[in-house]
Amino acid sequence: MQKINIAIDGYSSTGKSTLARQLAAALGYVYIDSGAMYRAVTLYALQHDLLEPEKLLGKLASIELRFDLNPENHKSEIHLNGKNVEKQIRSLEVSRKVSEISAIAEVRHKLVALQRSMGKEKGVVMDGRDIGTVVFPDADLKIFMTASPEIRANRRYKELLEKGDSVSYEAVLQNVRHRDNLDSTREMSPLKKADDAIEVDNSDMSLKEQFERIHAHALRVIAQKEKAPS
């Protein structure tokens, strides 16, 4: 069966990774979390005291990233220089610094090249901020996900409460707005809908409904591709 690459971009807390995982599982594709790669480089910078761009640049070649399937949960998890860092990259410390690190041009060049090589054989669902615009501009299916800041903040607030974090809804909403602003105004590869992306506003859509619609659409795109292989 003909394979395609699927690019999923959008604002934070719009459920990109949930949708990407569901699609990859349903289609038998590989899911790649490009944000995890930026987070792993940030972790490396924190571990080696390389937060200033000049210091980090000299060490970029020493960073080796790989996704390996974890047999316990069947998820592909990120490895930094051979070590599984899937949990460590989600820390608050990494979250606080990742915007700065992901704005460094050389970091983006290195990771975009790696992401493109991962998609060479097709059959990849990748989520991020610049997948449809920069990484796979020729992807056969591009999705751009949005939801109102209030709805996203509420989802994130509930997740944090469940994890036992005591935060206020107002603080979460402020953080969502701040990250939207950083993601969409940075100079290098800002978050932007590709002209040929399908915009999905899931403010009032259930996960099931969202998945069913996009999965059906992906199957149509693949069928079309089979009829007219390029």
Stretch that binds ligand DC, among 61-69, 97-105, 193-201, 214-222 (CB under 6 A): 97-105
Distance CA 37, CA 118 (A): 12
Strand partners, 76: 69
143, 197 in Cβ contact below 8 A?
yes
Distance CA 45, CA 47 (A): 6
- HSE value, Cβ hemisphere, 13 Å, CA-based, for 134: 20
Stretch that binds ligand DC, among 126-134, 156-164, 192-200, 213-221 (CB under 6 A): 126-134
Distance CA 115, CA 32 (A): 8
Tell me which of 76, 130, 194, 218 binds ligand DC, using CB under 6 A: 130
Question: x-or-dash pattern for ligand DC, window 8-47, by CB under 6 A?
Answer: ----x---------------------xx--xx--------
144, 193 in Cβ contact below 8 A?
yes
Instruction: Confirm or reject binding of residue 76 to ligand DC (CB under 6 A).
Output: no
Q: Tell the smallest beta-carbon distance from residue 39 to ligand DC (Å).
A: 5
Binding residues for ligand DC, how many (CB under 6 A)? 13
Q: Tell the smallest beta-carbon distance from residue 2 to ligand DC (Å).
A: 25
Instruction: Confirm or reject binding of residue 86 to ligand DC (CB under 6 A).
Output: no
Q: What residues numbered 154-193 form the site for ligand DC, per CB under 6 A?
A: 183
Structure tokens belonging to residue 137: 């501009």
Stretch that binds ligand DC, among 24-32, 127-135, 138-146, 153-161 (CB under 6 A): 127-135
Distance CA 211, CA 23 (A): 7
Strand partners, 222: none
Sequence letter at residue 159: E
Which residues sit at the interface with ligand DC, rule CB under 6 A? 12, 34-35, 38-39, 98-99, 102, 128-131, 183
